[in-house]
């Protein structure tokens, strides 16, 4: 008996020590249970909660896949936009027909809506339908074809609007939602990841185009243009604009304008009626392997300066042709779209730090941006100039000889801007305006006064061409 007792005590102590050591080193773990009804649950057990019941777990890696809160936050702020074209005035009156349809995003409670220029460019009357089916007539504030952005306004208050997020913080692989309101189907939400940033797909035309798209694989189809690209927090990080497709349908490549660029564009459109662009004053090209080798670049990246503009900001700061820009304000520049986006956010007068490589050595310079007229500050046009500019034509009074020769008073149309409201009426330069509506006019100021009275509504012009018989009438919407 005396021999058995020590052995039993020793065995008990060994067993107890083994259990204690096992519990110390073995952490609580998750058990997957496959229920007979086909559903799946997660159960936990440990010292503090032994079989205390089922507890739903949300793991960090799965958190971005829960888009419910973001979708609920966004859908009421995305609207359908219908652009209608009103035909020119004639003896039998005018009429309207549908021109195009797309989506838009409410960006302020007082009714400002951002969309793509290509959604509204073929119309002169605009109808906005909310997610709750309320309908409004919208006024076109201004457009910027170079970035494919347009700004509309409806007369309403306390509207649900989206908060701008920082598109710079987006990372490749991050989850995003594309939200549109196509064909009055109410809001449609799709999900995907950021596939790339700073993409150029050569769809915009003009000297000042900026293409630095966010590429995603979120499904975007016709009718979703102008809709919202948001992060999982429901913040606006882009405006969905284009897809690349051979079939005409979505094939996995969609592109959005970054929100940081959109903010600058719409502020300018609201405040000035046009975009005030700060320009570096350089003509640029891509860097290829040959250029990188010849200029002793550390990598095949950056933006090559072909030439500098006389009296431009770059020339003033000492930049030269064959320099390669590799940074703007501390942001690395690998390609042209990144440079365009960084500079495109700024106004004339902004001073930026440009990092560049010359003959294998790295330098930096402070460059003051200028506008296309070489002014280093924002030049605000008068309301009269702005209105005529938005309409798209240049006017002058008839000379005394012209009035005597034609025996008429009126206003001469000298020039018409391509793609403008006036150009879409098919008016030609040389048209002589004699009436705005029912009011006779004989000076540019009289034309302006009548157009101001008609802002937000339709107006028709009556007039003639010197070498063509008869009267001609043109109808358009005054912005």
List pLDDT tens digits, range 34-91: 333 333 322 333 333 332 333 333 333 335 567 898 899 999 999 999 998 765 444 3
Report if residue 163 sits inside a domain. Answer: yes
Q: Tell which residue, 390, 444, 395, has the closest CA to residue 420.
A: 390
Report if residue 146 sits inside a domain. Answer: yes
Residues 51 and 82 in one domain: no
- pLDDT confidence tier of residue 435, bands split at 50, 70 and 90: very high
Residues 112 and 259 in one domain: yes
Report if residue 318 sits inside a domain. Answer: yes
Strand, coil or helix: 232: coil
Alpha-carbon distance of 151 to 270, in angstroms, equals 8
Residues 268 and 316 in one domain: no
How open is the CA angle 472-478-479, to the nearest 5 degrees?
150
Residues 135 and 152 in one domain: yes
Whole-Å CA distances, 156 to 107, 117, 137: 13, 22, 11
pLDDT tens column, 446-477: 898 889 888 878 899 999 998 888 999 999 98
| DSSP conformational letter for 466 | T
- The per-residue pLDDT for 299 is 94
Bridge partners, residue 257, by sequence: 239
C-alpha Rg value of the chain to the nearest Å: 32
How open is the CA angle 119-121-122, to the nearest 5 degrees?
100
Mean pLDDT over each residue of the chain, to the nearest integer: 83
Q: Is the pLDDT of residue 25 over 60?
A: no
Alpha-carbon distance of 25 to 420, in angstroms, equals 75
- The per-residue pLDDT for 385 is 67
**HSE-up of 116 (CA within 13 Å, CB side)?**
27
Residues 410 and 325 in one domain: no
* Tokens standing for residue 239: 């405006």
Contact residues for 281 (Cβ-Cβ < 8 A; gap 6+): 308, 309, 311, 312, 313, 314, 315, 316, 370
| DSSP conformational letter for 205 | -
* Tokens standing for residue 375: 């002014």
Lowest mean per-residue pLDDT among 56-65, 210-219, 260-269, 346-355: 56-65
Q: Is the pLDDT of residue 16 over 90?
A: no
Residue in this structure with the two tokens 């119309």, named with its chain if needed: 123
Bridge partners, residue 434, by sequence: none
| DSSP conformational letter for 302 | S
Residues 321 and 187 in one domain: no
- The per-residue pLDDT for 86 is 66
CATH code of residue 100: 2.40.10.120
Number of residues that make up the chain: 479
Bridge partners, residue 357, by sequence: 324, 362
- The per-residue pLDDT for 230 is 95
Task: Quickly list H helices, 407-454.
Answer: 444-453
Residues 299 and 270 in one domain: no
Residues 21 and 89 in one domain: no
Alpha-carbon distance of 255 to 217, in angstroms, equals 9
Q: Which of 222, 254, 274 is the last residue of a domain?
A: 274
Report if residue 374 sits inside a domain. Answer: no
Report if residue 129 sits inside a domain. Answer: yes
Residues 269 and 291 in one domain: no
Alpha-carbon distance of 418 to 112, in angstroms, equals 26
- The per-residue pLDDT for 332 is 95
Report if residue 288 sits inside a domain. Answer: yes
- The CB density around residue 337, as the number of other CB atoms within 10 Å, is 20
Residues 324 and 439 in one domain: no
Report if residue 102 sits inside a domain. Answer: yes
Q: Is the pLDDT of residue 239 over 70?
A: yes
Q: How many domains does the chain have?
A: 4
Q: Which of 24, 39, 57 is the last residue of a domain?
A: 57
- The per-residue pLDDT for 335 is 95
- pLDDT confidence tier of residue 419, bands split at 50, 70 and 90: confident
Alpha-carbon distance of 227 to 185, in angstroms, equals 13
Contact residues for 413 (Cβ-Cβ < 8 A; gap 6+): 393, 394, 395, 427, 428, 429, 430, 431, 432, 433
Lowest mean per-residue pLDDT among 304-308, 352-356, 467-471: 467-471
CATH code of residue 464: 2.30.42.10
Residues 179 and 260 in one domain: yes
* Tokens standing for residue 432: 């002589």
Whole-Å CA distances, 91 to 48, 63, 85, 130: 87, 64, 18, 36
Report if residue 346 sits inside a domain. Answer: yes
- The per-residue pLDDT for 244 is 84
Q: Which of 257, 274, 291 is the last residue of a domain?
A: 274
Task: Decide: pTM greater than 0.85.
Answer: no
Range of the domain at 254: 65-274
Whole-Å CA distances, 241 to 78, 103, 173, 180: 14, 10, 20, 11
- The per-residue pLDDT for 35 is 35
Strand, coil or helix: 404: helix
- The per-residue pLDDT for 96 is 52
Average pLDDT over every residue of 393-399: 85
- The per-residue pLDDT for 449 is 86
- The per-residue pLDDT for 18 is 64
- The per-residue pLDDT for 7 is 64
Contact residues for 258 (Cβ-Cβ < 8 A; gap 6+): 167, 168, 197, 212, 213, 214, 237, 238, 341
Lowest mean per-residue pLDDT among 52-61, 196-205, 214-223, 363-372: 52-61
Q: Is the pLDDT of residue 92 over 90?
A: no
Strand, coil or helix: 313: helix
Alpha-carbon distance of 180 to 225, in angstroms, equals 7
- The per-residue pLDDT for 89 is 43
Residues 240 and 180 in one domain: yes
Residue in this structure with the two tokens 């043109």, named with its chain if needed: 474
Mind telling me the catalytic residues? 118, 148, 225
């Amino acid at each position: 008996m005396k021999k058995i007792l020590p052995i039993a005590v020793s065995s008990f102590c060994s067993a107890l020590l083994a259990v204690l050591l096992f519990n110390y080193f073995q952490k609580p773990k998750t058990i997957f249970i496959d229920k007979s009804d086909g559903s799946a649950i997660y159960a936990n057990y440990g010292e503090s909660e032994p079989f205390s019941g089922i507890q739903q777990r949300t793991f960090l890696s799965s958190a971005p896949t829960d888009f419910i809160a973001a979708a609920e936050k966004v859908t009421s702020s995305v609207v359908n936009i219908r652009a209608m074209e009103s035909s020119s005035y004639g003896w039998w009156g005018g009429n309207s027909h549908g021109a195009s349809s797309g989506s838009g995003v409410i960006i302020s409670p007082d009714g400002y809506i951002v969309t793509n220029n290509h959604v509204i460019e073929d119309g002169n009357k605009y109808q906005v339908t909310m997610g709750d089916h309320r309908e409004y007539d919208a006024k076109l504030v201004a457009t910027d074809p170079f970035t494919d952005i347009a700004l509309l306004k409806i007369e309403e208050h306390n509207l649900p609007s989206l908060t701008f997020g920082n598109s710079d913080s987006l990372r490749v692989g991050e989850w995003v939602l594309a939200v549109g309101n196509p064909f009055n189907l109410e809001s449609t939400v799709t999900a995907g990841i950021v596939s790339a940033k700073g993409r150029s797909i050569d769809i915009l035309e003009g000297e000042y185009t900026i293409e630095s798209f966010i590429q995603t694989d979120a499904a975007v189809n016709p009718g979703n243009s102008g809709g919202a690209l948001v992060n999982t927090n429901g913040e606006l990080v882009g405006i969905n604009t284009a897809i690349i497709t051979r079939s005409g349908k979505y094939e996995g490549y969609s592109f959005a304008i970054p929100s940081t660029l959109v903010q600058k564009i719409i502020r300018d459109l609201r405040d000035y009626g046009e975009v005030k662009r700060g320009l570096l004053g350089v003509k640029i090209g891509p860097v290829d392997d040959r250029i990188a080798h010849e200029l002793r670049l550390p990598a095949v990246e950056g933006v090559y300066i072909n030439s500098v503009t006389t009296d431009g900001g770059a020339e003033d700061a000492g930049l030269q042709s064959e320099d390669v820009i590799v940074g703007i304000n501390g942001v690395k520049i690998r390609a042209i779209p990144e440079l365009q986006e960084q500079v495109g956010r700024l106004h004339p007068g902004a001073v930026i730090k440009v990092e560049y490589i010359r003959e294998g050595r790295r330098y930096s310079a402070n460059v003051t941006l200028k506008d296309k007229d070489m002014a280093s500050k924002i030049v605000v046009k008068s309301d009269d100039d702005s209105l005529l500019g938005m309409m798209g034509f240049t006017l002058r009074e008839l000379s005394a000889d012209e009035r005597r020769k034609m025996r008429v008073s009126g206003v001469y149309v000298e020039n018409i801007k391509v793609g403008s409201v006036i150009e879409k009426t098919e008016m030609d330069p040389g048209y002589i305006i004699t009436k705005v509506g029912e009011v006779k006019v004989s000076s540019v100021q009289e034309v302006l006064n009548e157009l101001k009275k008609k802002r937000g509504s339709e107006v028709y012009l009556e007039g003639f061409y010197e070498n063509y018989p008869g009267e001609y009438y043109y109808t358009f919407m005054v912005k």
